[in-house]
Amino acid sequence: MSAQRTSEPTYYNSCHRHGVDEKRRVQIPAKWRPSQEGTELTLVVWPKHQAGTCLRVLPPEQMAKLKSDIDAMPNSDAHKVILKRFIGSESTQVALDKAGRVCLPEEMTRAAGIEDEVVLVGLLDRFEIWNPSRYENVKAADAVLASEAFKLME
Protein backbone atom coordinates (compact mmCIF):
# COMPACT_ATOMS: atom_id res chain seq x y z
CA MET A 1 0.00 0.00 0.00
CA SER A 2 1.13 3.54 -0.54
CA ALA A 3 2.68 5.68 2.18
CA GLN A 4 -0.15 8.17 1.71
CA ARG A 5 -2.73 5.52 2.66
CA THR A 6 -0.98 4.71 5.95
CA SER A 7 -1.28 8.28 7.22
CA GLU A 8 -4.98 8.66 6.43
CA PRO A 9 -7.62 7.41 8.87
CA THR A 10 -9.92 4.62 7.79
CA TYR A 11 -13.61 5.48 7.79
CA TYR A 12 -16.05 2.62 7.64
CA ASN A 13 -18.98 4.05 5.75
CA SER A 14 -21.60 2.69 3.36
CA CYS A 15 -23.08 -0.80 3.14
CA HIS A 16 -21.70 -3.66 1.10
CA ARG A 17 -23.44 -6.90 0.26
CA HIS A 18 -21.15 -9.88 -0.31
CA GLY A 19 -21.43 -13.59 -0.71
CA VAL A 20 -19.94 -16.01 1.78
CA ASP A 21 -17.98 -18.83 0.16
CA GLU A 22 -17.92 -22.49 1.24
CA LYS A 23 -15.00 -21.76 3.62
CA ARG A 24 -16.99 -18.91 5.27
CA ARG A 25 -14.74 -16.24 3.74
CA VAL A 26 -16.08 -12.72 3.22
CA GLN A 27 -14.55 -10.01 1.05
CA ILE A 28 -13.72 -6.79 2.93
CA PRO A 29 -14.02 -3.59 0.84
CA ALA A 30 -10.61 -2.31 -0.23
CA LYS A 31 -11.09 1.05 1.53
CA TRP A 32 -11.86 -0.78 4.80
CA ARG A 33 -8.77 -2.99 4.82
CA PRO A 34 -5.97 -2.22 7.26
CA SER A 35 -3.20 -0.26 5.56
CA GLN A 36 -0.51 -2.22 7.37
CA GLU A 37 -0.15 -5.79 6.16
CA GLY A 38 -0.63 -8.37 8.90
CA THR A 39 -2.91 -6.14 11.01
CA GLU A 40 -5.61 -8.23 12.65
CA LEU A 41 -9.22 -7.22 13.15
CA THR A 42 -11.24 -8.40 16.13
CA LEU A 43 -14.58 -10.09 15.49
CA VAL A 44 -17.01 -9.92 18.41
CA VAL A 45 -20.38 -11.66 18.59
CA TRP A 46 -22.57 -8.62 19.31
CA PRO A 47 -25.97 -9.47 20.82
CA LYS A 48 -27.07 -5.90 21.52
CA HIS A 49 -29.84 -5.43 18.95
CA GLN A 50 -33.47 -6.51 19.19
CA ALA A 51 -33.28 -7.71 15.56
CA GLY A 52 -30.69 -10.29 16.55
CA THR A 53 -27.02 -10.89 16.84
CA CYS A 54 -24.42 -9.63 14.38
CA LEU A 55 -20.64 -9.64 14.26
CA ARG A 56 -18.97 -6.39 15.24
CA VAL A 57 -15.56 -5.87 13.64
CA LEU A 58 -13.08 -3.73 15.57
CA PRO A 59 -9.80 -2.42 14.19
CA PRO A 60 -6.90 -2.59 16.70
CA GLU A 61 -7.39 0.95 18.04
CA GLN A 62 -11.10 0.33 18.73
CA MET A 63 -10.40 -2.99 20.45
CA ALA A 64 -7.82 -1.21 22.63
CA LYS A 65 -10.38 1.50 23.45
CA LEU A 66 -13.03 -1.10 24.35
CA LYS A 67 -10.58 -2.88 26.66
CA SER A 68 -9.55 0.44 28.23
CA ASP A 69 -13.19 1.43 28.79
CA ILE A 70 -13.89 -1.88 30.53
CA ASP A 71 -10.68 -1.68 32.57
CA ALA A 72 -11.72 1.82 33.73
CA MET A 73 -14.90 0.44 35.30
CA PRO A 74 -14.64 -0.01 39.08
CA ASN A 75 -13.71 -3.52 40.17
CA SER A 76 -16.81 -3.46 42.40
CA ASP A 77 -19.03 -3.23 39.30
CA ALA A 78 -20.26 -6.77 38.54
CA HIS A 79 -20.72 -5.78 34.89
CA LYS A 80 -16.95 -5.44 34.49
CA VAL A 81 -16.16 -9.13 34.78
CA ILE A 82 -19.27 -10.07 32.80
CA LEU A 83 -18.16 -7.86 29.91
CA LYS A 84 -14.58 -9.18 30.09
CA ARG A 85 -15.79 -12.77 30.14
CA PHE A 86 -18.34 -12.31 27.38
CA ILE A 87 -16.13 -10.30 25.03
CA GLY A 88 -13.11 -12.44 25.82
CA SER A 89 -14.92 -15.68 25.07
CA GLU A 90 -17.04 -14.40 22.16
CA SER A 91 -14.31 -12.71 20.13
CA THR A 92 -11.37 -13.66 17.96
CA GLN A 93 -8.70 -11.94 15.91
CA VAL A 94 -8.73 -12.47 12.15
CA ALA A 95 -6.27 -11.47 9.46
CA LEU A 96 -7.10 -10.71 5.88
CA ASP A 97 -5.84 -13.13 3.28
CA LYS A 98 -4.05 -11.97 0.12
CA ALA A 99 -7.42 -11.54 -1.61
CA GLY A 100 -8.74 -9.19 1.13
CA ARG A 101 -11.06 -11.73 2.76
CA VAL A 102 -11.58 -12.77 6.36
CA CYS A 103 -12.68 -16.23 7.41
CA LEU A 104 -15.63 -16.17 9.81
CA PRO A 105 -15.50 -18.86 12.52
CA GLU A 106 -18.32 -21.40 12.27
CA GLU A 107 -19.68 -20.74 15.80
CA MET A 108 -19.84 -17.02 15.09
CA THR A 109 -21.66 -17.46 11.79
CA ARG A 110 -24.22 -19.66 13.53
CA ALA A 111 -24.74 -17.09 16.31
CA ALA A 112 -25.22 -14.29 13.77
CA GLY A 113 -27.45 -16.33 11.45
CA ILE A 114 -24.97 -15.93 8.60
CA GLU A 115 -25.22 -18.39 5.75
CA ASP A 116 -24.43 -17.58 2.11
CA GLU A 117 -24.64 -13.79 2.07
CA VAL A 118 -23.82 -10.87 4.39
CA VAL A 119 -24.23 -7.12 4.61
CA LEU A 120 -21.21 -5.19 5.88
CA VAL A 121 -22.43 -2.02 7.58
CA GLY A 122 -20.11 0.89 8.27
CA LEU A 123 -20.22 2.49 11.72
CA LEU A 124 -17.58 5.12 10.88
CA ASP A 125 -14.91 3.81 13.30
CA ARG A 126 -15.77 0.08 13.02
CA PHE A 127 -18.18 -2.08 11.07
CA GLU A 128 -20.70 -4.87 11.49
CA ILE A 129 -21.41 -8.05 9.56
CA TRP A 130 -25.12 -8.88 9.36
CA ASN A 131 -27.40 -11.58 8.06
CA PRO A 132 -29.21 -9.60 5.28
CA SER A 133 -32.74 -10.16 6.59
CA ARG A 134 -31.73 -9.22 10.15
CA TYR A 135 -30.11 -6.07 8.80
CA GLU A 136 -33.31 -5.09 6.98
CA ASN A 137 -35.09 -5.21 10.36
CA VAL A 138 -32.32 -3.12 11.95
CA LYS A 139 -32.46 -0.60 9.12
CA ALA A 140 -36.23 -0.23 9.52
CA ALA A 141 -35.93 0.22 13.29
CA ASP A 142 -33.10 2.75 12.84
CA ALA A 143 -35.19 4.75 10.35
CA VAL A 144 -37.89 5.20 12.99
CA LEU A 145 -35.38 6.57 15.52
CA ALA A 146 -33.14 8.53 13.12
CA SER A 147 -34.94 11.88 13.37
CA GLU A 148 -34.57 11.88 17.16
CA ALA A 149 -30.93 10.80 16.94
CA PHE A 150 -30.10 13.59 14.49
CA LYS A 151 -31.57 16.17 16.88
CA LEU A 152 -28.66 15.40 19.21
CA MET A 153 -26.28 16.73 16.57
CA GLU A 154 -27.90 20.16 16.20
| Domain at 3-151, CATH class | alpha beta
pTM: 0.89
Arithmetic mean of pLDDT, 28-41: 92
User: In 8-131, which ranges are continuous DSSP H helix?
Assistant: 60-71, 78-89, 106-112
Beta carbons of 58 and 102 less than 8 angstroms apart: no
Q: Where are the beta strands (DSSP E) in 20-133?
A: 25-27, 40-46, 54-58, 91-95, 101-103, 117-122, 127-130
**H/E run at residue 147:** helix 132-151
- Per-residue pLDDT tens for 44-72? 999 877 778 999 999 999 999 999 999 99
Element (H, E) at 15: strand 15-19
Which pLDDT score, from 0 to 100, does residue 3 have? Answer: 41
